[in-house]
Structure 1
Amino acid sequence: MNLRLFFIFILPFFMLLACVDEKKEVVLEGETSADTQVEIEVEIDDNEDVPDSIESNNQQNETKEQDDAHTTEIEMKNDNVSDQLLENEAFRIEIPTQNSIVSTGFIVQGQARVYEATVQYRLLNESGDILTEGFTTASEGGPYWGDFEIIVDWVDNGDTSGTLLLFEESAKDGSEQHALTIELTFE
């Protein structure tokens, strides 16, 4: 057998069989040394044995389709929340919303894009006195968005309203950066 014939026709055919995609149809195009284009098309009958790697690819594609459907569902749910979402360049707060009625132990949930993932918070009463303050760590540090949750506890002094302040502390001078203010009513 001519070695040239082997490399032009036979070897690509075997390579083709090894590279069958999930559609079970492959087109191989190439050029021979005589600048003649060669096109080989192979279809595998569904009744034939399919290599495990192809079955694995099909399962991965089905899983990806399910994930895509789930992502679309989540995006649709998030579209409904976006009207109430409080946000600035560093914070996206899902709960509480502006003017929410809260009691001690309320939860703050959201995302932050802050230095070293450190989210600072301070709860003030209507007179501006600090009721509680602290920090938590988001799941990711800036420049990425990281999820966080804070449980805000304070001693109830009979105050009827207050302000939750979320901010990032400057690494340079300790000043408050990107402050987000949420007005609250206490029950």
Structure 2
Amino acid sequence: MNRYGKVIGLLLLLTVLFLAAGCDLFSKDKDKDKNPVPAAKNISVVVYYPKDTQYNSFLVREIHTLKKTTDMPKTAVEELIKGTPTTSGAHKVLPAATKVLGVKIDDQGLATVDFSPEVLNANVGSSGEALGIASIVNTLTEFPNIIKVSFTVNGKAENAMDWWGHVGLYEQPFSRNMSLVQEPLIWVTSPVDNQVISSPLKIAGSAMVFEATVSYRLKDAQGNILASGFTNAAVGAPERGDYATELQFKSPGAGQKGQLEVFEVSMKDGSDRNKVIVPVVFK
């Protein structure tokens, strides 16, 4: 083969190698597109904060959107320390320097929260201490696998028995206490926002209302009432009770939007009071 032929052969070989490398790079790019790095997911978490008024002190219930972690109970308690209450007048009670060292949950539903020693530095009265303890307990018992809650400091219960100097931890483990929650007066746990619904629709939640009567109505996007009714909470105000019922309705069409309204009827003028609106999508 002459020199000219060798040059042509070398060029052809280089061309083949270049194309092969390009195909490999293109293939890798396609693989990257097929397997993107998953974005951090957010999750709605229920938390409880104390609130003081000139008349009394109580807990408020809030829903915070947090990044999903592998230990959501710990993340929820950390939100009580680092988060910002959205209810007017609500406040954090756990000292800002407090660290959550861990949350262990046994097979009986007992969650043990281990705090750093800074948790003992809160400067509150007996009411503030009781509400502070209840805020943690109620927040954690929102998780279905947690029934009761105990506290330790640096891994030892005896390090924290006096807690903030008033109530103490002598009666732990603590159970959920919803009678301390006075805001909002009504909330809905089913359906959730933008849920795709069909008939019958399960309506559930908690209420602190006169004579335990909880009213509801389902509307389409044009405001037409598709169905309405009322049910009773387990107890009436001033206590708080759970409620649950089912609502039969005819769907206006798949993909159509609407809203569920849950409220208390005013005994004075028949108006809606403490209304909660849940956006829904019809199946």
TM-score, length basis structure 1? 0.55
**Which whole-Å CA distance do the structure 2 matches of 1:105 and 1:116 have between them?**
26
**Which whole-Å CA distance do the structure 1 matches of 2:185 and 2:241 have between them?**
10
CA deviation map 1:65-124 (0-9, x unaligned): xxxx657599535058xxxxxx95221222211111111112111111111000000100
- Residue 139 of structure 1 aligns to which amino acid in structure 2? A
Alignment of 1:1-187 (within 5 A): 70=109, 76-79=140-143, 89-158=184-253, 160-187=256-283
Structure number with bigger Rg: 1
Distance apart, 1:144 and its partner CA = 1.1
* Alpha carbons 1:113, 1:142 under 8 Å: kept: yes
Q: Give % identity.
A: 31
* Alpha carbons 2:197, 2:281 under 8 Å: kept: yes
CA deviation map 1:125-149 (0-9, x unaligned): 0000000000001111011111110
Instruction: Please state whether the residue corresponding to 2:196 is helix, strand or coil.
Output: strand
Query: Is the alpha carbon distance of 1:88 and 1:98 closer, same or farther for their aligned partners in structure 2, counting shifts above 3 Å?
Result: farther
**Which whole-Å CA distance do the structure 1 matches of 2:260 and 2:268 have between them?**
24
Query: Is the alpha carbon distance of 1:141 and 1:72 closer, same or farther for their aligned partners in structure 2, counting shifts above 3 Å?
Result: farther
Structure 2, gaps ≥5 residues long? 1-107, 113-136, 145-181
Choose between structure 1 and 2 for higher RCO, CA contacts under 8 A separated by at least 6 residues. 1
**Which whole-Å CA distance do the structure 2 matches of 1:88 and 1:163 have between them?**
22
**Which whole-Å CA distance do the structure 1 matches of 2:212 and 2:110 have between them?**
25
What root-mean-square deviation, in Å, do the aligned CA atoms of Structure 1 and Structure 2 show?
A: 2.6
Instruction: Please state whether the residue corresponding to 2:204 is helix, strand or coil.
Output: strand
For this pair of structures, how many residues does the alignment match? 114
**Which whole-Å CA distance do the structure 2 matches of 1:154 and 1:173 have between them?**
28
**Which whole-Å CA distance do the structure 2 matches of 1:93 and 1:72 have between them?**
26
> Which residue of the partner structure matches residue 91 of structure 2?
none
Instruction: Please state whether the residue corresponding to 1:78 is helix, strand or coil.
Output: coil
TM-score, length basis structure 2? 0.37
* Alpha carbons 2:235, 2:241 under 8 Å: kept: yes
**Which whole-Å CA distance do the structure 2 matches of 1:177 and 1:121 have between them?**
11
Instruction: Please state whether the residue corresponding to 1:116 is helix, strand or coil.
Output: helix
Structure 1, gaps ≥5 residues long? 1-68, 81-86
**Which whole-Å CA distance do the structure 1 matches of 2:229 and 2:279 have between them?**
18
**Which whole-Å CA distance do the structure 2 matches of 1:127 and 1:154 have between them?**
16
Moved over 6 A (4+): none
